[in-house]
Chains A and B, each alone.
Chain A
Amino acid sequence: MVFNSLAFLVFAVVFLTVYFLLRGRHRLYWMLAGSYFFYGWWDVRFLGLIILSTVVDFHLGKTIRAAADPTRRSRWLWLSVGVNLGILGFFKYAGFFTEGFRQLAALFGWIPPIPFLEVVLPVGISFYTFQTLSYTIDIYRGRMEPTRDIWCFATFVACWPQLVAGPIVRAADFLPQLQRYLPADTARIQSGLTRIGWGFFKKVAVADSLAPFVDQVWSAPAHFTTLNLWVAVLFYSFQLYCDFSGYSDIAIGFARIMGYEFPENFRTPYFSRHFSEFWTRWHISLSSWLRDYLYIPLGGNRKGSWCTLRNLMLTMLLGGLWHGANWTFVVWGGIHGVLLVLQRLLEGPFRLCKRYVPGPMWTGLAMLTVFLLTTLAWVFFRSPDLHTAVAILQDLFRLDGWAPTGLMNKFIVARGVGLIGSLLMVEAAAAYLPVGPWLSDRPFWRAFVVAAMLFAILLFGNFAADAFIYFQF
């Protein structure tokens, strides 16, 4: 079930009404039933995977805690990692790796007798796998106690607002929240609705309005002029951001209505002044997961500069691969790795330059540079293969094709630019002015804000669009 569907509208109304009519643990059971229904709506067969992952990690969590011997604890942890990554690896990467192996073997003249694998990717598998992994790892590290309540744990794994596209929540943060049963709260519901409205504006009005232009250009890039390609590439940057952060906003909003607080997943990432800042503002729940469970265990920045750079590259490459079984994602991760490495290596010269450039100008230039390089890296993220990505990047730097008369559908472009402008203005206001606290004391004005978002969605929304981009990951 996707948020931008009529089925979900009915589901949300029924679910929340019953949720607030129930008391105590009944809410937990209802939440779990609703989450399985939400997920099963897409394909009921894959519920088995979530349940398997839940049961295995619930028991392994307790076993790891109970094991006195560190070696045994470590073995149980590796079993948990093996099961989770095994499921993820099979469903997400089996085809990718067997094909890669086949191509490699072909170089040596050997055709290995491996069947072609076309495995259907279960929605959200990358997200809930990382959640359950963090649970057992945190128990192993002694950072949390295993839960004895399987219903609570199952709800943590399958909680519907964030099940298919995050934010990735940590058991230590979320399990205690699942055990408290708060009554309906007006302020929380108002705040949640505002957040949901903003999420839908980003998804339906901005991301889905930009998508047709982007899709058209990417379907046959050779047919379009340089100007159209630049517009499409810039539009994609905002489409992806609004699509994904819109989902997170909706998830956070629904959770807030029910009395849960999910971690923030985006903080105006295109206002970043350097690449390490970008990764503290973009898909925060994934980047912090990779930091805590990959970068730091690899040694982080504690083992000298060479190891730091290596760890950065490895983390970004694996982070890229997490997004999908395609070399385009690996290259995209690699580009970000290189940018992070370069940023570290050039820290001294940058500091020197900064002394001679006025502060606001430096900040503006830095933001623009980070945005443009990030946008160019998205070309790999969006393209179906490396060949297409390289062709688009080459065409972006052609000297011809800049005439405004060659611009495809000026009305759609003008609408896209207007929506992006509005988005940036609101985000800047929310980031630098105390809009949230001001609104929380003025429920009547909040109603106006929610209504204004609904009007914007009605006027600019694309209601014929597909699911969220991050569902495929």
Chain B
Amino acid sequence: MTETIRPRGKRLLGWGVALLSIVFVGDRVLAYALGRLAAQSQFRYTRLYRPAGDGRMLLLGNSRGLSLFQPSLEAATGLSTVNLSYNGLPLALANVLMRDYLDRHPVPDLLLMDITMLDRQMDERLVQQFLFLTNHSDRLRQLVREQNPTVYFFSRLFHLYRYNSEVYYRTLYYRHRTDADWLLDRVITGDQLAAVRDAPPYTFEYDREQLDMLAGMVAYAAGKGVEVRLLVNPYLPDYVSRLENLDAMVREVSAACGIPVYDFSSAVTDTTGFGDYQHLNKRGAARYVRLLQEKGLLDISSATSVVPPFF
């Protein structure tokens, strides 16, 4: 009996060792190949971590930050722009990305930030989408480790796991093309407009910690000599009435950061300028950029305090 079990056990052990070897060697080799594939991408976050793509104007926000449409802004101001906005970008991650950018690139003249990323309902797990960049940033690595030690552990154990992300897919997609025109083309439909009128009220969730983090970001950028403009990018006018505490949030952010917040939430009234209830399309974005320019918010070297708050 023992004679038959031993060879069987040895065979199983041998197979197990072979399997583990294939898994760990394969994991490292494939992850290395995927990393190389992304290295020369034109996507914003790959450019952030290599010496390229410096902009005189830095843009930051969640998906609504994409309303700060780079081609329109560059045409209007003649300044190069870098947009670090991403769908559902939580403030903690925006903080890391902004600081990393300011530390690694020539300091931009202007930073435009959409403050709605303050909302706690932005999914903090989004940071896991950036795992493949953790080798380039101590701050990012630290943030992942603090937010989810299990994910951090597995990303160290299996390197391939770091590439399991929509951000990485986008990195591949933008390998040979620019991401500057990343914005909706579509126009909101009649049914969607009707549905917005029945939408439930929405309350931004934020706390002192979030306000302090945003204030810290403003102070960090200002300390580097960047002019910071805090904005609320446009919503569909019908939806603005559903936002229960937008005014209070604007006031509190302004008080916490010590600079005005420019509320453009109701500034674009033409519904054909929207892709959905909270995102401008390209047409609406062009209109919005003109508004920003008319209000002098794209002018460099004008002190923020001389531009009066409006809307």
A interface list, Cβ under 8 A from B = 6, 183-186, 189-190, 220, 222-223, 225, 400-401, 403, 405-406, 409, 411-412, 414-415, 443-444, 447-448, 450-451, 454-455, 458-461, 463-464
Contacts and interface: CB of A to CB of B under 8 A. Distances in A.
A409 B87 CA distance: 10
Interface string B172-215: 01000000000011100101100100000000000000000000
Contacts of B139: none
B289 to A, nearest CB: 21
A463 B166 CA distance: 14
Nearest to B198: A222
B303 to A, nearest CB: 41
A446 to B, nearest CB: 8
B309 interface: no
Interface string B237-264: 0000000000000000000000000000
B8 A447 contact: no
B185 A405 contact: yes
5 contacts: A443-B15, A447-B15, A447-B19, A455-B26, A459-B164
B22 A451 contact: yes
Nearest to A401: B189
Interface of A is mostly: helix
Given A222-B195, A447-B22, A6 B11 contact: no
B15 A186 contact: yes
Contact of B161 (A184, A448, A458): A458
A275 B230 CA distance: 60
B75 interface: no
B150 A6 contact: yes
Contacts of A223: 192, 195, 276
Nearest to A461: B164
Given A411-B166, A459-B160, A183 B5 contact: yes
B23 A183 contact: no
A158 to B, nearest CB: 28
Interface residues of B, number: 33
Interface of B: 5, 8-9, 11-12, 15, 18-19, 22-23, 26-27, 30, 125, 150-151, 158, 160-161, 163-164, 166, 169-170, 173, 184-186, 189, 191-192, 195, 276
Nearest to A220: B195
B284 to A, nearest CB: 15
A448 B30 CA distance: 14
Given A186-B11, A189-B12, A451 B185 contact: no
A444 B151 CA distance: 30
A458 B27 contact: yes
A464 B11 CA distance: 36
Given A186-B15, A222-B195, 17 more contacts: A183-B8, A186-B8, A190-B15, A223-B195, A225-B189, A401-B189, A405-B186, A415-B169, A443-B15, A451-B22, A458-B158, A458-B160, A459-B160, A459-B163, A459-B164, A460-B164, A463-B151
Q: Of residues A403, A450, A459, which shows the largest number of chain B Cβ atoms within 10 Å of its Cβ?
A: A459
A360 B26 CA distance: 40
A411 B173 contact: yes
Contacts of A451: 19, 22-23, 26
A230 B134 CA distance: 37
B238 to A, nearest CB: 14
A411 B169 contact: yes
Contacts of B27: 455, 458
A466 to B, nearest CB: 14
Contacts of A189: 12
Contacts of A411: 166, 169-170, 173
A185 B161 CA distance: 31
B34 to A, nearest CB: 8
A63 B170 CA distance: 66
Contacts of A459: 160-161, 163-164
A460 B8 CA distance: 35
B125 to A, nearest CB: 7
Contact of A222 (B8, B125, B169, B191): B191
A410 B22 CA distance: 33
Contacts of B8: 183-186
A444 B16 CA distance: 10
A406 B15 contact: no
Contacts of A458: 27, 158, 160-161, 164
